Chain A
């Protein structure tokens, strides 16, 4: 390996490591906020799946778009979002990415190409494919990645838009994060046959990859994104991964659908951050102490962002009918015919 190549890798690897740790730190704080009854509503933890979001988003440009899911904090962080605005959004504060109107399940970060999380399972498949149609029609070279879970493969919308994406060779990558559970049900019980073959039936090139291996995910996505830009899309990737928490933060007693032993095995043996960290140390890119220092810095960042968000103001009541329509300050007057 040449020195330049190695340096390049070192920077990329450090970034990927940091981004995964940031996601984990964000989710740990979000979970604490819920447990301590400081966060309104529920949230869905991404912990355990970090290598998927980071491996993919690190292969994308700022111009590239993603659509995200109800389990979307990881995608959002990986695509470049800030802790502060994210925590503010989780707490319904004015400075949140969506001025407190979206919350955990609807964070959108237009500036970084995140077209938004979606609380309807599979709800963003049309949006992602439409963004790809936009790119092709307008002659832009951005690629769109559509994140969704294994549960969403049961939605008919996917087959409609895969059909059109394949017909029109759209620059879209369908990224199915198979974490083994569709809400509270094993994926085996809701999905017949092979997910990969479903995509292949449309003539779409499909891949299966270890979703706990950030480098494997990143390498594959880089290649497919490049091919999308050359008009060779769409593609499908099934990423095998695991969610450490329940379906949502309130899903605590989950023995009836999966064992503690199974959870422990994934956490102990297949944790994407631990394993990637070990390989960085093994390759002598970083020392264990350096990585611990990184972890601590990020944890402190997350802590500071939470403190900031807890103290941040809520939106003014007058915002309640703002942003209903673009170009209309207050919807209620407008709806009554005010000019």
Chain B
């Protein structure tokens, strides 16, 4: 078996060594302990001895060359011809174990994340890092546009951007590999576009990876409604974290305290003062439009799942979850909103529309033509890795269902001018109660 001759680590903080001279020629016999070559390190020239006897072969580096520590520079073989009979001057058939720097780029794969909506591709707006850049897991790697908003996607791993597979402007399917983060600085970082060679990720990306990517994705503007509410008249609002949180949850605008002349900072107790402020006329409407209401609830998933299988058995055909959710949403909305109710559902990329689904039996609920504009949208994300939603108010109220293990996490969001705070709460509550206890709907 041939022995590798390796550029040794000689000094304490030395990365490379320069070969001053070879003391043996390719094909020449050597004994263990013979001086093979001379190396210059930090300050001095050192002689390097053969670690075993044989013939010096496969010399890949000439005198004068600067070689990274650890790199194989020759072999000591049992025959003068070297491994496989190739003469020393020829390229060996199978190249020697490459030095670490020359390895094929390996690393962690960054995939196009599922950014929360029923979305199957993402448009790359821009890359925040270039191939070869060093990145931390939290660094923004790229910006992606999905249905409604631009999202910043963090790198997810510490390391170096080794390869980028898609250019800005390209639309990439969710789950596809868009970059490689390597632990070591790549010698030759690569940038290509999907057209020039997109390595397919496994047909079924590991759920854990997908979840990580999704969790890590953060909207580039968080809760736009809230941001506007706070920043409108003052560039700095001093309030305790709890006061801010409660104000947000209750749709209260702390700015009004400033306008009313109350001194900052604000605490929870000041929210009572805020609630007692006389209603404004025009400005109130503006605030109401600007703010965005969000109510979240958590219920056990077992009841709904059990109900679905029971119902499917009962009716003799599978019942879609979003159909049942549409019924519940309509029933909940009816408590605050009389008249005709059009519910839009979005689940796994498919949109459907239902007209007054709560007024017919479960067996009869069927989608209608999509030309009816929905007054309420139900998004079923329970099959996706998304765990939490905060997108701000949209044209109509949105009920989102996320699922994780034993729990459904329900979110009701709406713009301030679509439903009052009280109505939002009633809608969210009514929906959550029905999901938690579906039988109630039948009774």
Asked if B43 and A35 make an inter-chain contact with CB atoms under 8 angstroms apart, the answer reads no
Q: Which residues of B contact A335 (CB under 8 A)?
A: none
Closest to B100 in A: A37
Asked if A32 and B10 make an inter-chain contact with CB atoms under 8 angstroms apart, the answer reads no
Task: Confirm or deny: A4 has a beta carbon within 8 angstroms of a beta carbon on chain B.
Answer: no
Q: Which residues of A contact B43 (CB under 8 A)?
A: 253
> Given known contacts A252-B46, A253-B43, is B9 in contact with A37 (CB within 8 Å)?
yes
User: Which A16-38 residues have a C-beta within 8 angstroms of B?
Assistant: 32, 34-38
> Given known contacts A250-B9, A250-B10, A250-B11, is B70 in contact with A36 (CB within 8 Å)?
yes
Closest to A35 in B: B8
Q: Of B42, B46, B69, which is within 8 A of A37 by CB? A: B69
User: Which B181-209 residues have a C-beta within 8 angstroms of A?
Assistant: none
User: Which B37-66 residues have a C-beta within 8 angstroms of A?
Assistant: 41-44, 46, 51
> Complex: how many Å from CA A59 to CA B12?
38
Q: Which residues of A contact B8 (CB under 8 A)?
A: 35-37
Q: What's the least CB distance linking B361 to chain A, in Å?
A: 50
Closest to A253 in B: B44
> Complex: how many Å from CA A252 to CA B13?
12
Q: Which residues of B contact A252 (CB under 8 A)?
A: 10-11, 41, 44, 46
Closest to B15 in A: A37
Asked if A250 and B12 make an inter-chain contact with CB atoms under 8 angstroms apart, the answer reads yes
Q: Which residues of B contact A251 (CB under 8 A)?
A: 12
Task: Confirm or deny: B216 has a beta carbon within 8 angstroms of a beta carbon on chain A.
Answer: no
Q: What's the least CB distance linking B159 to chain A, in Å?
A: 16
Best-surrounded residue of A37, A42, A253 (most CB of chain B within 10 A) = A37
Q: Which residues of B contact A32 (CB under 8 A)?
A: 51
Closest to A37 in B: B70
Closest to A249 in B: B9
Q: What's the least CB distance linking B2 to chain A, in Å?
A: 14
> Complex: how many Å from CA A310 to CA B195?
41
Interface of B is mostly: loop
Asked if B51 and A34 make an inter-chain contact with CB atoms under 8 angstroms apart, the answer reads no
Task: Confirm or deny: B35 has a beta carbon within 8 angstroms of a beta carbon on chain A.
Answer: no
Closest to B41 in A: A252
User: Which B1-36 residues have a C-beta within 8 angstroms of A?
Assistant: 4, 6, 8-12
Asked if B9 and A35 make an inter-chain contact with CB atoms under 8 angstroms apart, the answer reads yes
One digit per residue, 1 when the CB lies within 8 angstroms of any chain B CB and 0 when it does not, for chain A 126-165 equals 0000000000000000000000000000000000000000
Q: What's the least CB distance linking B111 to chain A, in Å?
A: 21
Number of A-B contacts (CB under 8 A): 33
Number of interface residues, chain A, beta carbon within 8 A: 11
Q: What's the least CB distance linking A23 to chain B, in Å?
A: 18
Closest to B72 in A: A36
One digit per residue, 1 when the CB lies within 8 angstroms of any chain B CB and 0 when it does not, for chain A 35-47 equals 1111000100000
Q: Which residues of A contact B12 (CB under 8 A)?
A: 42, 250-251
Asked if B4 and A36 make an inter-chain contact with CB atoms under 8 angstroms apart, the answer reads yes
Q: What's the least CB distance linking B418 to chain A, in Å?
A: 43
> Given known contacts A250-B12, A252-B11, is B6 in contact with A36 (CB within 8 Å)?
yes
> Complex: how many Å from CA A250 to CA B46?
13
Q: What's the least CB distance linking A245 to chain B, in Å?
A: 13
Q: What's the least CB distance linking B184 to chain A, in Å?
A: 14
Q: Which residues of B contact A37 (CB under 8 A)?
A: 6, 8-9, 69-70
Q: What's the least CB distance linking A296 to chain B, in Å?
A: 12
Q: Which residues of B contact A35 (CB under 8 A)?
A: 6, 8-10
Closest to B4 in A: A36
Q: Which residues of A contact B6 (CB under 8 A)?
A: 35-37
Q: Which residues of A contact B9 (CB under 8 A)?
A: 34-37, 250
User: Which A48-80 residues have a C-beta within 8 angstroms of B?
Assistant: none
Best-surrounded residue of A34, A42, A250 (most CB of chain B within 10 A) = A250
Closest to A250 in B: B12
Q: Which residues of A contact B10 (CB under 8 A)?
A: 35, 250, 252
> Complex: how many Å from CA A253 to CA B41?
10
Q: Which residues of A contact B4 (CB under 8 A)?
A: 36
> Complex: how many Å from CA A251 to CA B41?
12
Q: Which residues of B contact A34 (CB under 8 A)?
A: 9
Best-surrounded residue of A34, A36, A42, A250 (most CB of chain B within 10 A) = A36
Q: Which residues of A contact B46 (CB under 8 A)?
A: 252-253
Q: Which residues of B contact A250 (CB under 8 A)?
A: 9-12
> Complex: how many Å from CA A36 to CA B48?
12
> Complex: how many Å from CA A150 to CA B46?
29
> Complex: how many Å from CA A35 to CA B9?
5
> Complex: how many Å from CA A38 to CA B9?
10
Q: What's the least CB distance linking A217 to chain B, in Å?
A: 29
> Complex: how many Å from CA A31 to CA B149?
58
Q: What's the least CB distance linking A182 to chain B, in Å?
A: 18
Q: What's the least CB distance linking B253 to chain A, in Å?
A: 37
Closest to B99 in A: A37
Q: Which residues of A contact B69 (CB under 8 A)?
A: 37
One digit per residue, 1 when the CB lies within 8 angstroms of any chain A CB and 0 when it does not, for chain B 335-367 equals 000000000000000000000000000000000
> Complex: how many Å from CA A32 to CA B70?
11
> Complex: how many Å from CA A230 to CA B10?
50
Q: What's the least CB distance linking A286 to chain B, in Å?
A: 23
> Complex: how many Å from CA A38 to CA B6?
10
| The 4 A-B residue pairs with the shortest CB-CB distance in the complex, in nearest-first order | A37-B70, A35-B8, A36-B6, A250-B12
Q: Pick 26 A–B contacts, CB within 8 A, sort by A.
A: A32-B51, A35-B8, A35-B9, A35-B10, A36-B8, A36-B9, A36-B70, A37-B6, A37-B8, A37-B9, A37-B69, A37-B70, A38-B70, A42-B12, A250-B10, A250-B11, A251-B12, A252-B10, A252-B11, A252-B41, A252-B44, A252-B46, A253-B11, A253-B42, A253-B43, A253-B44
* Interface set of A (CB-CB < 8 Å, partner B): 32, 34-38, 42, 250-253
Further contacts, 8 of them, CB under 8 A, given A37-B6, A252-B11, A253-B42: A34-B9, A36-B4, A36-B6, A37-B69, A37-B70, A250-B11, A252-B10, A252-B46
